[in-house]
Amino acid sequence: MTTTIDATQRIKELNDAFRRTGDGGRILFTAGVIDLGVIFAHRALALVRRFDAFTHDNDPHKEHDFGSFTHQGRKLFSKIDTYDAACEFGSEDPADPTRTTRVLTLMLAEEY
């Protein structure tokens, strides 16, 4: 049986790997991000992939599932949510990548 600390560490590792590579999930851009253009969106995603400024304020559960940053004068958020394999319900075990699909949403702060 996995302890809560072990599960949290595993979720953090999986979220970090997904955020950096996009492997193991889906990446969504909100309409506000898309409206700013493809180049803006892809450069913002590059910032998400390098993001490592996790603090107690933006990462209280220590899962590295949220990021906040500024790009070209715009405040953006990135959020990783975990779903079951079919993306119909929340994942019953986000620490198990065989049972979980990660979805990263990149949004303008005002869309949150």
d(CA 52, CA 59): 11
Confidence (pLDDT) at 4: 82
Beta-carbon contacts of 14 under 8 Å, excluding residues fewer than 6 positions away, are: 24, 94, 95, 97, 100, 102
Say how many domains are in the chain.
Answer: 1
Average pLDDT over residues 17-35: 97
18 and 24 Cβ atoms separated by less than 8 Å: yes
pLDDT of residue 2: 55
- Residue with tokens 């993001």, as numbered in its chain: 51
Task: Give the model confidence (pLDDT) of 36-79 as tens digits.
Answer: 999 999 999 999 999 999 999 999 999 999 999 999 999 999 99
Give the pLDDT mean for 9-25: 97
pLDDT per position as a tens digit, 87-110: 999 999 999 999 999 999 999 999
pLDDT of the residue at 1: 44
**Residue-number span of the structural domain to which 25 is assigned:** 4-111
